Amino acid sequence: MTILASFAVPHPPIILPEVGQGEEEKIRKTIAAYDTVMEKAAGLQPDTLIITSPHGEMYMDYFHIAPGPTARGDFAQFRAPQVELSVRYDRDLASLIAEEAREAGIPAGFEGERDPALDHGTMIPLYFYRKYGSLDKVKVVRIGLSGLGPDVHYLFGRCIREAVEKLGRRAVFIASGDLSHKLKEDGPYGYVPEGPVFDRQCTEALGQGDFFRLLTLDHSLCTRAAECGLRSFWIMAGAWDGMNVKARLLSYEGPFGVGYGVAAFLPGAPDPGRKFLSPLLAAEKKQREERVAREDPYVKLARLAVETYVKDREIPSLPEGLPPEMLSARAGAFVSLHLRDQLRGCIGTFLPTRNNLAEEILRNGISAATRDPRFPPVRPEELPYLEYNVDVLTTPEPVSGPEQLDPRKYGVIVKSAQDERRGLLLPDLDGVDTVGDQIAIARQKGNIAVTEPVQLFRFQVVRHR
């Protein structure tokens, strides 16, 4: 047998009456759609439910598959401890998925479990499933997401289907994930214009079964929208590699400021035109080449520094042809590295420490790749996928209070009034939307308590990408 159906579903705890206490009525369409797809799932009489969840164990470079024979969980953290669920794991299928992934070069397995309890991204689909089918008659494979790219998630989904087919399982795939978390000013995470745009594009792609569009959504759009479930959907798409699907978007709502979509996918006939891995890799390669071609001398120098040092452990000489201002001016500079829209390293100086700006960038680029204590050193195989920002700073100036700050225009330095501890945060960062956020993060970076008196400084940057 193979995968009988897949469903993309949200996981808001408030959808449970025991948690929502009446508030769940505001997402009645989502509840009705959830009931429809889980009744369908139970009616297929699967042997195994495969659930991918953003709230399981998640690592940047590894897919965690829940180990062991059984697991349980409850909603105590949502003030409903009486709602409990227990499952049996399909250990044979989980082991074969890990084996298939390793053979495909994908890091996946059972290591790194920090909490064996079922997460709410898994439990909410199971809560609805057990209305229509017994959890005693079905096993579960629970899989976390990773920080790897869409191509790896897609290939992992293909490995999941291959394992299902080899064991002859009747499986239903449940891709658990909310959409944007930034749909309303009065929502828990605020509002950004990209939130509704992401939700519209994502739900259109789900409803049309347009998996290539899902895989190629603009990365910066997804980051700004603070989406939750896209990686779940990527894995699900891979599980349908080379297959037509009958796709249907059953509902979409976002009254609480978070997007909830429910979609169903039933198998059609094989279709070689729906093998999306090769065109995805080609599209990603083209994007990388275009990005490198657009880089200005500041970013090219940072890239040269990082690539030379990581490959050869040598500090390169300054290249010929740099703009005169890079050789004559002195300024603080930060070099930021991103890998698949996730920060991979950021080191800089808020005042100049080298003979000129070019040397400042060169040295800080190497430090960002090798000395940021938050990350392991950059590996050679990561180099083609890195994106670079170079921020050249103005001289910091003191300000009298937060009212003189603007997280889009100014970076901030928060300095302890008691000693030399300080934390710095660059301006115009995704997810930092208020002055309060900016100061709180800078305090944290400087190990400065919320109650400690501080001095505030602001600066501006010229950002090179």
Q: Residue 299: CB partners within 8 Å, gap ≥ 6?
A: 388, 389, 390, 464, 465
CB 146 within 8 A of CB 63: yes
* CB environment 202-213: b (16+ within 10 A), e (fewer): bbebbbebebee
Q: How far apart are CA 111 and CA 312, in angstroms?
A: 32
What is the model's pLDDT at position 9? 98
What are the tens digits of pLDDT across the range 227-266? 999 999 999 999 999 999 999 999 999 999 999 999 999 9
Tokens of 56: 């399981």
Domains of the chain: 3-279 (3.40.830.10), 295-390 (3.30.700.20), 397-464 (3.30.1490)
One-letter amino acid of 332: G
For residue range 371-388, what is the model confidence (pLDDT) as tens digits? 999 999 999 999 999 999
| Angle subtended at Cα 39 by Cα 17 and Cα 251, rounded to the nearest 5 degrees | 70
Task: Kindly state the average pLDDT of the residues 48-60.
Answer: 96
Q: Three-class SS of residue 6? A: strand
30, containing H or E segment: helix 28-43
Q: What is the pLDDT of residue 435?
A: 95
Q: Report the percent of the chain where pLDDT is more than 90.
A: 96
Task: Tell whether the model's pLDDT for residue 81 goes beyond 90.
Answer: yes
Q: Which two tokens stand for residue 235?
A: 């894995």
Q: What is the pLDDT of residues 195-224, one digit of tens each?
A: 999 999 999 999 999 999 999 999 889 988
pLDDT in tens, 417-446: 999 999 999 999 887 889 999 999 999 999
Nearest alpha-carbon partner for 399 in 411, 387, 390: 411
